[in-house]
């Protein structure tokens, strides 16, 4: 999380993520799935402005900085927004009664597998912990984060890369040298995470994450492209013609490798360098793909 002071409060940036590896190992009795996933933060951010309020209330305004025409981007009730829920959870757990006005500017599309909502929630926990001087440790914030969503603890931690296990909430930071240049595209329609998991088949015998971990440890980082995996790709393709079409489009591009991120519907390709990523992004926009960015992973 990048955090800075402005004239009327504080501003923080909440990064998106991609999953270079996501293996569903088993269905759990609690309805979740046991995972082994490698997540990397990327250079695409939502922005959050926090302004202290004298009175005891929480105000949240959300604005979209991406095309409203994308399906699945409708703003729900403020009370359902993860930023609002994170703020209320922090107030309930600490007894803090200070008020805050939050403005969230969304650049990370929803229903995309890019972790936007989770990152916004984690950034809110960290920012308000600092702003309200609550003194919670990162470990304590991660416990609260896991109550908001399986991906949220990853965004509370400082690590740019992590191996996440359990239902995704247990994380081990991965020291990774270098950056990957990526192109990410989101088709017209989003996908529901719960629906994709409901249709997935656990793959206990597929390749484990060890090979990717070794590659990331030893470098060069581009070799990571050859150890990609996502158990959610098959159910996402089954549920969405958009994903199938995007995959076909990516097949025809000169990418090192490509796959779905998280439960989709966004798709990413690993490029030779940042210039190639920008060039491919331009080409995809020209072909009419509704949302495309060229980004890099963070060191």
Encoding tokens for residue 139?
């470990």
Stretch that binds ligand C5P, among 31-39, 54-62, 90-98, 173-181 (CB under 6 A): 31-39
- CA separation for the pair 78, 218 (Å, rounded): 45
In terms of CB distance, is 109 or 149 closer to ligand C5P? 149
Query: Locate tokens 């072909």: which residue?
Result: 287
35 in contact with ligand C5P (CB under 6 A)? yes
Q: Cβ of residue 150: shortest distance to ligand C5P, in angstroms?
A: 3
Q: Largest alpha-carbon pair distance within the chain?
A: 56
- CA separation for the pair 149, 118 (Å, rounded): 7
- CA separation for the pair 19, 162 (Å, rounded): 10
**Nearest C-alpha neighbor of 281 from the set 178, 181, 146, 147:** 181
241 in contact with ligand C5P (CB under 6 A)? no
Stretch that binds ligand C5P, among 105-113, 172-180, 192-200, 251-259 (CB under 6 A): 192-200
- CA separation for the pair 130, 122 (Å, rounded): 13
Q: How far is CA 217 from the centre of its chain?
A: 22
Q: Cβ of residue 183: shortest distance to ligand C5P, in angstroms?
A: 25
167 in contact with ligand C5P (CB under 6 A)? yes
150 in contact with ligand C5P (CB under 6 A)? yes
Stretch that binds ligand C5P, among 104-112, 127-135, 190-198, 290-298 (CB under 6 A): 190-198
- 17 catalytic residue (yes or no): yes
Count of CA atoms in the C-beta half-sphere (13 A) of 274 = 8
- Asked whether the CA dihedral 106, 108, 111, 116 is positive or negative, the reply is negative
- 106 catalytic residue (yes or no): no
Find the binding residues for ligand C5P in span 98-117 (CB under 6 A): none
**What would you report as the CA-atom Rg of the chain, rounded to the nearest whole angstrom?**
19
In terms of CB distance, is 101 or 192 closer to ligand C5P? 192
What count of other Cβ atoms lies within 10 Å of the Cβ of residue 91? 19
Q: Cβ of residue 94: shortest distance to ligand C5P, in angstroms?
A: 23
Can you tell me which of 194, 238, 241, 299 binds ligand C5P, judged by CB under 6 A?
194
In terms of CB distance, is 197 or 267 closer to ligand C5P? 197
Among candidate residues 41, 46, 106, 151, the one labeled active-site is 151
Name the residues annotated as catalytic: 17, 151
Interface residues toward ligand C5P, by CB under 6 A? 32-33, 35, 149-151, 167-168, 193-194, 197
């Amino acid at each position: 999380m990048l955090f800075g002071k402005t004239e009327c409060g504080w501003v923080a940036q909440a990064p998106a993520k991609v999953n270079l590896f996501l293996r569903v190992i088993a269905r759990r009795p609690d309805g979740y799935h046991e995972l082994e996933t490698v997540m990397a933060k990327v250079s695409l951010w939502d922005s959050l402005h926090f302004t202290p309020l004298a009175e005891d209330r929480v105000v949240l305004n959300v604005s979209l900085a991406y095309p409203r025409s994308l399906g699945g981007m409708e703003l729900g009730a403020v009370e359902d927004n993860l930023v609002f829920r994170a703020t209320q959870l922090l107030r309930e757990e600490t007894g803090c009664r200070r008020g805050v006005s939050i403005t969230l500017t969304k650049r990370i599309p929803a229903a995309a597998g890019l972790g936007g909502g989770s990152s916004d929630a984690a950034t809110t926990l960290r920012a308000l912990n600092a702003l309200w001087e609550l003194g919670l440790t990162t470990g304590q914030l991660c416990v609260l984060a896991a109550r908001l969503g399986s991906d949220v603890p990853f965004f509370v931690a400082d690590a740019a890369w992590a191996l996440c296990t359990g239902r995704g909430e247990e994380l081990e930071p991965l020291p990774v040298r270098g950056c990957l240049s990526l192109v990410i595209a989101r088709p017209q329609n989003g996908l529901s995470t719960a629906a994709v998991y409901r249709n997935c088949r656990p793959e206990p015998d597929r390749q484990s994450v060890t090979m990717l971990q070794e590659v990331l440890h030893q470098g060069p980082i581009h070799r990571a492209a050859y150890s990609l995996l996502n158990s959610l790709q098959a159910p996402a393709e089954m549920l969405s013609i958009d994903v199938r079409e995007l995959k076909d489009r990516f097949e025809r591009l000169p990418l090192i490798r490509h796959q779905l991120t998280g439960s989709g519907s966004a798709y990413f390709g690993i490029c030779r360098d940042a210039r190639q990523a920008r060039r491919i992004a331009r080409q995809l926009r020209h072909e009419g793909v509704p949302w495309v960015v060229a980004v890099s992973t963070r060191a």
